[in-house]
Structure 1
Amino acid sequence: MLTIKSAAMALALTTAMAAPAIAATMRWAPQRDIVSMDPYSYGDTFTLSVLNHVYEGLVRYDATLQIEPALAEKWEVVSPTVWRFHLRKGVKFHDGADFTADDVLASLKRVSDQTSPLRGNLPAYVSSEKIDDHTVDIHVTENYPLLLNDLTNIHIFDQGWLVTNKAEAPTDVAKGVEGYATSHANGTGPFKFISRKPDVETVFDVNPDWWDKRQHNIDRIVMTPITSPATRVAALISGEIDFTNQAPLQDIPRLQASSNVKVLSNNELRTIFLVMNQSPKAFESDVTDKNPLQDIKVRQALYHAIDADAIQKVVMSGLSRTTGSLVAPAIPGYVPDLDKRLSYDPDKAKALLAEAGYPNGFSFSFLCRNTEFVNEEQICQAVSAMWARVGLRPNLNVGPTTIQDAKFDTLQFDVGTLGWANEPMLDSYSILVQVVHSKTGNAGVFNWGAWKDTEIDGLIDEAGRTIDRTARLALQSKALQRANDLSMFIPVHQQPMAWAVGSNVKDVLQLSDNKARHWLTHMAD
């Protein structure tokens, strides 16, 4: 039976194949679509990685994940609260407008607005100042050490384009706030936005006037989301698509057996973990007078009931990395001692529930997505069954990312899934300030469950103003340790990264941040 979704996908593939051939077309089929053309509309790593082909930041990560100049040629620290950036001259936006300091100021104002979902990516930002047309000062909180990391994914808009199209105000996917930038784009990057049909097809063409040296041979990118794993695999094997950054784990042996498909796999930086709503009252539970999840014994019971090794072997095909840590080993701030899980012990889980006053368990909502993380729905199904074995009654609620994230953002859940790769910062301060910290100012933007610990907040705040790297990481590790001690979250694993490319792709760069960089991809001659 052909569903509306699969029919739309088939139409997009047929249209792409029937259209006049354009040399070196990259046919990209992710599992899901981006959430918006506006990079500030939601802190979604996949969306930001796709829009990196169109928009650029003042700095960027190179092929070894080291920071290098982009729209800023150089920078220096003027004082403990001021960084000066010297902008690249001669850069033009895709509509032909010149890139200047005004564009940087307008972009920083927009992304740091209190209504901006991405403001947490600039936790120490205070203000910006134009020195001349190609020099900008950025004012931050005193001695903040990670501004360059933050700026790697703060895309720069054309100020004139924003004003002309009444797009100065941020949009917000989670709250349903849209604008001109939701469906249009005008960046300085290696590819130009051409057209978009949400959930069907988005097209980008090469920018022949890009300021940087062209290191790819792609003329067009046609991105067609294919939600069905079986359809995605069949399209790869048949040669209808060239690339997917989400090869289904269960189909990797079949893809590897195909002579015209190559599989690239590794563990990525993203840790998948469970978050618990710790506000005074449960969202959906048969316990109505209080929230059981505020009790550490209950949180520990949920943790002890999960057999993470079984999830790794069965659900993740042995390809994930089971963890007790909120950050991957490659992320600064990781400490091996924090990578030890609470034991899988159903009897202990039952005993803890009884001690907490719930010998017969309780019901609660369990919010998950089916289009976000690798095998997320299957993980949630497995965890639900494990909790049921100790007397808990999770009500599993599964849906697409755009719908579920709005529920997270408005506390319409009790337990849910979250994944964090610490991008673009590539430092444990990222998850600490955006997720673990209480919701205060620019901090705690993804504190979805009203969790709060004053000691943790103090450690994070001190780390954010500590220049010495060793001292800063020690503070961050201490904050992570306390989060573990409180069972504030339940880590599961670092998820696997599996890409697959067809015979038309000669060379593609895969880094541990799991971001496709097609400005460095070579198609076959």
Structure 2
Amino acid sequence: MAPLAFRSLRSAALLAVLSWPCMAAAQELRIGMKAAIDSADPHLLFTPSRNVQLHVWEPLVVQDAQVKPTPGLAHSWRPVDATTWEFKLREDARFHDGSPLTAEDVVFSIRRAQTIEGVRTYRAYIRDIASVESAGPHTVLIRTSVPSPLLPNNLSTFGIASARAAQGATGEDFNGGRAAIGTGPYRWGRWTPGQDVTLERNEDYRAGPQPWSRVSFRFLGNDSARVAALLSGDVDVVDAVPAGLYDRVRNSGGKTHLEAATSLFALNLTLDSRARSNFVTGPDGKPMAENPLARREVRQAMSHAINRTATAERAMEGGAVPAGQYMPPGFLGHVPDVQPASYDPALSRRLLVQAGYPQGFGLTLHCLNDRFYGDSKTCQAMGQMFTAIGIRTTVEALPSSIFFRRALTGANGQPEFSASMSIFGSAAGLPDNAFTSLVQTFDPARGRGTSNLGRFSNPQLDALIDKAAATFDPAERQAVLEQATRIVFEQDLATIPVFYLKGAWGLRQGLTMEPRGDQYTLATGIRPAQ
């Protein structure tokens, strides 16, 4: 006879399984996903692919719903010295083929992520790594070329692959499943490019099997068709619900419900800081000898001309939240008292007079028309607001493929636009990525200012960004980032934040989920309602 304690535990476990709501009917979770994946390779960077891959390949460090680092395959980590990190691995992690996770798998995966060929890779996130080595079966030492206190955050971006399965593997080996061996709660099943992906439950997962025996991701790019699939019961969950369809999900007669939350993806207005600018004209319609956008008072005028609340509620139909800095509340690096600029057109006009432009000037505003719901409407609304204060604005909304080419290298290898709006969000959930990419002085050799479309430059700000990147103490680092935040948004207006996009999901009744700031749709965060 089994001991009483064991029988009690066994009975409790059985009761827990039997009491899980709708367990028998909820074995498969069907997710309608806006974007199709393009690879199963965990070391190639493409956001939709990563959304699916995180079920199969786990990173050393996992991001929570606010994209903050938590233990993953590494249960702990510590800086040994200014340029050395030690990561301790879980000893109970197993790959899907039953082999144990070892330090050699981590060494292999980091080296592969550093050297893999492709247009989109994770190399920028791990560029500081000089060497990686095993210091025992479950200990990894990573040495960096410079102090890198954010290395754990950056190592949350890609998954750890089996060295045995992935050594020498091709893209087809991953896509077809032969090399698709991870440690995650799901196994790679079947992928039909452009249509769907099916994942199978890992019955031997260390934390116990998930409630879903199978998870399927159907790629439904059309927003209305995706929501219609949810309402008809063809799928259980849909991602990227646009604000214009919120009510269809909410008012379904109790069949579905909506989950929405602020994401870390922020829309920013970038203004040209160079001496002359391509799309600025005087009252006579001719090019101007100097660039008014380089003046602080003009930037302030444009910021106060933006009615962020109306833009978020009307142009975006409730699908956005006004922004005053790169990181929203609740995320790393947010500075609570740095608020969105007030909407004050009268102040804007006074600032233009102070700047020496009482008659205003002409401007072309370039925006995206295929990046997010409401992008073109937002662009038109912004153009009208600038025109209302005397900056006569023409709007040109472009598809992504054209916008980014011209924005980055459109005119003789230089950014072409005078004023442009685009979305930025850090895959690592770090304000540093926004500072380094968007406002640090352009320096391609060092990987600085790669998306600094206005060629803004402030040596004091550069020094603070570099100091934050080398500071290990979290409180001290936050203090440095606060100084940088105040320079960017209160002193110089290096870029002008407009709003944070909301992430929104539709779910059938009987399901719950925790919305994520990175807008990922993870089956591990979706559960039958209790």
Counterpart of 1:376? 375
- Which runs of 5 or more structure 2 residues have no equivalent in the other structure? 1-23, 282-286
Question: C-alpha separation between the residues in 1 aligned to 2:156 and 2:106?
Answer: 13
Checking the alignment, whether the CA contact within 8 Å between 1:119 and 1:442 is kept in structure 2 is: no
For 2:341 and 2:387, how far apart are their aligned partners in 1?
20
Q: What is the match of residue 136 of structure 1?
A: 140
| Deviations, residues 272-309 of structure 1 (Å, cap 9, x unaligned) | 22234556775667749876644445544443432222
Distance 1:413 1:307 in 2: 27
Q: Report the counterpart of residue 474 of structure 2 in structure 1.
A: 469
Identical amino acids, percent of aligned pairs: 24
Shift of 1:413: 5.0
- Say how many residue pairs are matched: 488
Output the CA distance in 2 between the equivalents of 1:206 and 1:305: 52
Contact 1:122/1:151 (8 A) holds in 2: yes
- The answer for the alignment partner of 2:156 in structure 1 is 152
Partner residue, 1:515: 520
Residue 395 to residue 315, structure 1, CA distance change in 2 (3 Å):
closer
In the aligned structure 2, how far is the partner of 1:218 from the partner of 1:438? 48
Residues 392-451 of structure 1: CA distance to partner in whole angstroms, max 9, x if unpaired?
Answer: 444423325x665555554565244333444424x4334223433234424445445543
Aligned-partner Cα distance in 2 for 1:522–1:479: 40
SS class of match (1:339): coil
SS at 1:57's partner residue?
coil
Distance (Å, rounded) in 2 between the aligned partners of 1:200 and 1:385: 41
Residues in 2 aligned to 1:196 and 1:387: alpha-carbon distance in whole angstroms? 48
SS of the residue aligned with 1:519? helix
Residue number in structure 2 paired with 1:103: 105
SS of 1:455 mapped into structure 2: helix
Aligned mate of 1:493, from 499, 503, 507: 499
Q: Report deviation, 1:314.
A: 0.9
CA distance in structure 2 between the aligned counterparts of 1:288 and 1:145, rounded to whole angstroms:
45
Instruction: Tell me if the contact between 2:511 and 2:529 (Cα under 8 Å) persists in the aligned partners.
Output: yes
**TM-aligned CA deviation for residue 130 of structure 1:** 2.4
| Distance change >3 Å, CA 520–CA 314, structure 1 → 2 | closer
Aligned to 1:30: 33
CA distance in 1, matches of 2:272, 2:164: 42
Paired residue secondary structure (1:396): strand
Amino acid at match of 2:324: G
Tell which structure's C-alpha radius of gyration is larger. 2
Kindly state the Cα deviation for residue 238 of structure 1 after the two structures are TM-superposed.
1.3
Give secondary structure in 2 for the equivalent of 1:60: strand
How far did 1:329 drift?
1.9
Partner of 1:366: 366
Q: 1:502 aligns with which of 501, 504, 508?
A: 508
Change (3 A) 1:311 1:29: same
Per the alignment, residue 185 of structure 2 pairs with 190
User: Contact 1:120–1:444 (CA<8 Å) still a contact in 2?
Assistant: no
1:219 aligns with 2:194: no
Matches within 5 A, 1:349-498: 352=352, 355=355, 359=359, 361-364=361-364, 366-370=366-370, 372-389=371-388, 390-399=390-399, 404-405=403-404, 408=407, 410=409, 414=417, 415-425=419-429, 427-440=430-443, 441-484=446-489, 485-498=491-504
Q: Which runs of 5+ in 1 are unaligned?
A: 1-20, 168-178
CA 202–404 in structure 1, closer or farther in 2 if over 3 Å, else same = farther
Structure 1 residue 118 corresponds to structure 2 residue 122: yes
Residue 58 of structure 2 aligns with an amino acid whose one-letter code is: E
- Residue matched to 2:9: none
SS at 1:28's partner residue? strand
Read off the aligned partner of 1:234 and give its amino acid letter. A
CA distance in 2, matches of 1:369, 1:136: 45
- CA distance in 1 between counterparts of 2:112 and 2:331 reads 29
SS in 2 for 1:55: coil
Distance 1:292 1:165, change over 3 A: farther
Return closer, same or farther for 1:64/1:336 CA change in 2, 3 Å cut-off: closer
Alpha-carbon distance between aligned partners in 2 of 1:361 and 1:59, rounded to the nearest angstrom: 50
> Which residue number in structure 1 is paired with residue 260 of structure 2?
265
- Which residue, out of 196, 201, 208, partners 2:203? 208
CA distance in 1, matches of 2:270, 2:199: 36
Q: What SS class does the counterpart of residue 208 from structure 2 fall into?
A: coil
CA contact (8 A) 1:384 1:396 kept: no
Shift of 1:477: 0.9
Checking the alignment, whether the CA contact within 8 Å between 1:271 and 1:420 is kept in structure 2 is yes
State the partner residue of 2:12: none
Q: Which residue is equivalent to 1:16?
A: none
Q: Give the RMSD, CA atoms, in angstroms.
A: 3.8
> Which structure 2 residues correspond to residues 314-329 of structure 1 after superposition, within 5 A?
314-318=314-318, 320-329=320-329
Would the alpha carbon gap of residues 329 and 454 (structure 1) be closer, same or farther in structure 2, given more than 3 Å must change? same
Deviation at 1:501, TM superposition (A): 0.3
Partner deviation per Cα, 1:152-176 (whole Å, 9 max, x = no partner): 2232234455542357xxxxxxxxx
Equivalent position of 2:312 in the other structure: 312
C-alpha distance after superposition, 1:42-96 (max 9, x if no partner): 474x543332112211121357866443222333332232111233346454566
Match of 2:13 in 1: none
State how far apart, in whole Å, the 2-side matches of 1:343 and 1:294 are: 21
Tell me the SS of whatever aligns to 2:75.
strand
What is the Cα deviation at residue 150 of structure 1?
A: 2.3
Q: In structure 2, how many angstroms separate the alpha carbons of the residues matched to 1:275 and 1:39? A: 33
* Secondary structure of the corresponding residue to residue 522 of structure 1: strand
Deviation at 1:220, TM superposition (A): 2.5
Residue matched to 2:284? none
* 1:164 partner SS: coil
Mapped partners of 1:473, 1:129: distance in 2: 31
Tell me the distance in 2 between the aligned counterparts of 1:394 and 1:36: 40
CA distance in 2, matches of 1:330, 1:132: 37
Distance 1:114 1:300 in 2: 44
1:235 matched to 2:213? no
Counterpart residue identity of residue 245, structure 1: D
